[in-house]
Structures are given as C-alpha cells and as structure tokens.
Structure 1
C-alpha cells in the first residue's frame, strides 16, 4: 500500500502539490500492479475534500484528530503518519516536497533509520526502487535507490500535473487518534499571524510569464516589459537582484526564494540565469531568452534566444504585436 500525506489549505482543500503527489502515487501504483493508495490528512476533512481525494484514486483517507494535531508540529505529524503506516502496512510513504512535507518525512526517516529522498521527479523500476530527484536547488539531478521498506520520499512541485484518476476510488474516511508523546510537541506552532495577501498566485498558475532581470537597468526600465506582459495577458516575474535593489516587489520574484513557475512559455529578459533563478523556472515547457550576452546561462539553457539589448528588442516586439492586432 502507498501512503501519501496530503496537506490541506485553510479553506479545507487539498493543496495542488499534494494532488500532484497523489497523481505521482497513481503512476507508482500502476507500475506495481495496482497497489492501493491511502492518504493521511490532519484534522477531520469535509465531504468535499473526501470526494476530491476519491476522484484522485485514494482508497481510504486517514484523518488524524485530537488536540495534539490542532497546531502544526513536524514531529507530531510524523508520529501520527507512522502510526497509520504501521497499522496499514504501507511499503511507500510519500508527501509533496513542501517545507512541511519534507520536514515530516525527515522525522519519519530519522525514526525508522531509513533514507528519505527529497524532491523526486520520477521513479525507475521497483527492484531496486530508484527515484530521480532534484538537488542543488534543481540545478542537478541525482538517482537514489530506496531498497528498504518503507520507501520514504517527497515529490518535487510540478514534477507531474495533478490529474484525477480515470475512475474514482472508494474514498473511505477513517478517523484516527494516534497518541503523541509530549516530547513530540516541544516544537510546534503556538500562534499564527494573518499573512499578507498572496499576490503570487497569478504568477504560479500563468501559462505565459514575462521575466525581467538586472538588464532592465533601473526601476524606471520596466515600461516596455510591462507593456509586453499586458499584451500577452501575462504576469511579470523578476530575478532576485531586481527585488533586492527595490525595483519591483518581492511577490514578483521567481526563483529558489521566490515563486516556482511552470508556464508553457517563459520570456526572461536581461536575466543571466543564476542557479537560484533557474530553480524557479526550469519547469517551463519553453523558454525564449532575450539577453545581450550569448554565453549567459539562461541563453545556453533556453529553447530559443534573441541576442541583443532588451530595450531595443522589446519595443519592436510590442510594436509588431500591436500591428498584427490592428492596434
């Protein structure tokens, strides 16, 4: 049996990365001859969440309930996950490669004395079970064998597209109340401040993103880039140096410490392509780089590239788009 930790949003919905992890689990299940998939959620889910997980092929949803699970604690969540695993006898324990998913699975690995592979993007064979995972912020890939059981790993965000199963599973809800030791609650969330509005949603879900880096030149150098974004109905994403210089707000940042995007087309303009930025955009299906340095990492990795000054190229592109639209 495959056991997947599913994170739930404040609105009570399975977060996208967790739905991606369940989709990944279905591929693994199919390779293993139809091994059943169970999910673990924290807190009692509503009917809509149970139905959603059933449509994604989850046979049984184990809900961790009780005061010990009222606030987030990586160790407590791991204890509950292990209790369900031991009862259900799963051979694989998975989660999305989020900060919480990786932390909880790290606790599971430490308690079982087994290796934990973070940020897997694919698997290869079952004997021995081998995953390919992202390392160095996504700049390199590593193959890791997980020969012992349970195999413990997280799935990198956007490694697969979240898709419902061809046929829904039963989606049976089981309420679980595993005991948690006081020691597992030493590190836990004790209060939560209301977050600033998340303005990066459009960036993360966009099919086209226009990128801007140091090549913009100054805080006043974004007019043409913003016009291109408007013409393409695309959000603007920027490099870390742009936000560090105060030229653009942080919610527009793409990269290891910003948003990770996976558009159909990414158009990075004046962005050199440092490892940290590449970690946030490497999942783009196609990249059209505009840069005056033909040897820039972004240019060498791009699907297509235009070499030249963005302040000459972007206005020309905008003018051509307007001409073709008769504007």
Structure 2
C-alpha cells in the first residue's frame, strides 16, 4: 500500500503539490499492479476534502487528530504517519517536496532506518525500486535505488500535472489519534503571523511567461518586453540580477530564491541561464530563448532559440503579432 502525506490549505483544500504527489502515486500504483493508495491528513477533514482526495484515487483518508497535532511539529507528524503505516502495512511513504513534506519524511526515514529520496521527478524499475530526483537545485538529475522497505521519497513540485483519477477511490475516513512522545513536540510551531500578500501568485500559475535578464540593459529597457507580455496575456519573470540591481521587484524573480514556474511556454530574453535560474524554470513545457550568445546555458537547454539582441528581436515579434491580429 502507498501512503501519501497530504498538506491542507487554511481553507481546507488539498494543496496543489499534494495533488501532484497523489497523481504520481497513482502512476506508481498502476505500475505495481494496482496497489491501494491511502492519504494522511492532519486534523479532521470535512466532506469536501475527503471527496477531493477520493477523486484522486484515495481509498482511505487517515485523519491525525488530538492536541499533539494542533500545531505543526515535523517529528510528531512523522510519528503519526508511521503509526498509520504500521497498522496499514504501507510499503511506500510519500509526500510533496515542500519544506514540510521533506522534513516529515526525513524524520520517518530516520526512524525506520531507510534512506530518503527528496524531490523525485519519475520512477524506473520496481525491483529494485528506483527513482530519478532533482539535485543541485534542479540543475542535475540523480538516479537513486530505494531497495529497502518502506520506500520513502518526496515528489518535486510540477514533476507531474495534478490529474483526478478516471475512477475515484472509496474515500473512507478513518480518524486516528496516535500517541506522540513529548520529545516529538520540542520543535513545533508556537505562533503564526499573517504573511505578507503573495504577489507572485499570477507568475507561478501563468501558462505563458516572458523572462528578462541583464540583457534588458536597465530599468528603462523593459518597454518592448512588457509590450510582449501584454500581447501574449503572459506574466513577467526576471532573473536574480534584475532584482538585485533594483530594476524590477523581487516577486517577479524566477529561480532557486524566487518563484518556480511551470508554464506551457517560457520566453527568456537576455537571460544566460545560471543554475539558480534554471532551478526555477526547468519545468516549463517549452522554452524559446532570445540571446546574443549561442553558447549560453539557457540557449543550449531551450526547445528553440533566436540568436540576437532582444531589443531588436522583440520589437519585430511584437510588430508581427500586431500585424497578424489586424
């Protein structure tokens, strides 16, 4: 059985990356002959959440309840998940590759004495079980065998697209109240402040993103780039150097220290493609790079490339789009 930790938003919905992990689990289940998929959530879910998880093929929803789970504590969540695993007989423990997912499963792996693979993007053979995972900020891939049981790993964000199952699972709710040791509550959330508004939401969910780097030249060099953004109904994403120079705000930054995007089309203009930036855009389905350097990393990794000055190429592209639209 596959057991997946599902994180829940304040509104009571499964977070998108957890839905992606459930989709990944479903593919793994199919490869293994239809192994059952159960989910673990912290707190008692409402009927809508149980129904949502069932739509992704979940057989049972194990709800961890009790005062020990009132606030986030990675070790306590791991203890609860392992208690469910012991009763259900899970051979695979999974979560989304978020900060919490990685922490909880690291605790679970350490307690069971097995290795953990973080940020998997695909799986290979089942005997021994092998996953391919992102390393070096997503700049490289590593193949890792998880021959021991349980197999413990997290799924990188946007490794798969969250897709409901053709046939929903039973979605049976099982309320659990596992014991938690005091030691597991030493590191826990004790207070929460309201976060600043997340201005990067539109960028993270955009289907088309136009990127701009040092090649823009200055804070005043974004005119034609912003026009292309408008013509394509896209979002603007920039490299770290652009925000470091103060040309554009940080919430537009794409990369390891910015937003990770997965658009249908990414058009990086004047961006060399350093490892940190590639970590944020490598999940794009197609990349059209515009750069003067044919050997730039972004150009060599792109689906298509135009070698030229963005200040010459983009105005021509804008003019052609306007012409075709009449």
* TM range, smaller chain: over 0.9
Aligned to 2:323: 323
Secondary structure, counterpart of 1:210 in structure 2:
strand
The offset of 1:228, in angstroms, is 0.5
Q: Which is further off, 178-187 or 85-94?
A: 178-187
Is the aligned partner of 1:292 residue 2:299? Answer: no
In structure 2, distance between residues paired with 1:205 and 1:311: 27
Matched, 1:9 2:4: no
The offset of 1:80, in angstroms, is: 0.8
Paired with 2:91 and 2:42, the residues of 1 have a C-alpha distance of 21
Q: How does 1:28-47 map to 2 (within 5 A)?
A: 28-47=28-47
Q: Residue 227 of structure 1 aligns to a residue in which SS? A: helix
Q: Distance in 1 between matches of 2:9 and 2:120?
A: 23
Secondary structure in 1 matching 2:202: helix
Q: C-alpha distance in 1, partners of 2:124/2:157?
A: 19
Gaps of 5+ in 1: none
**Which SS does the other structure have where 1:159 is aligned?**
coil
With structure 2 as the length reference, what TM-score do the two structures score?
0.98
1:185 CA displacement: 1.0
1:66 Cα deviation from its structure 2 partner: 1.1
CA deviation map 1:283-314 (0-9, x unaligned): 11111101111111101111111111111111
Question: Which whole-Å CA distance do the structure 1 matches of 2:48 and 2:141 have between them?
Answer: 37
> Which sections of structure 2, spanning at least 5 residues, go unmatched?
none
Query: Which residue in the other structure is 1:27 paired with?
Result: 27
Provide the rounded CA distance (Å) in 1 between the counterparts of 2:67 and 2:220: 53
Which residue pairs with 2:85 in the alignment? Answer: 85
Structure 1 counterpart of 2:279: 279
The match for 2:195 is 195
Match of 2:269 in 1: 269
Q: Distance in 2 between matches of 1:68 and 1:213?
A: 47
| CA RMSD after TM alignment | 0.9
Q: Tell me the equivalent position of 2:168.
A: 168
TM-score by length of 1: 0.98
Q: What is the 5 A alignment of 1:147-296?
A: 147-296=147-296
1:132 aligns with 2:132: yes
CA distance in 2, matches of 1:260, 1:72: 24
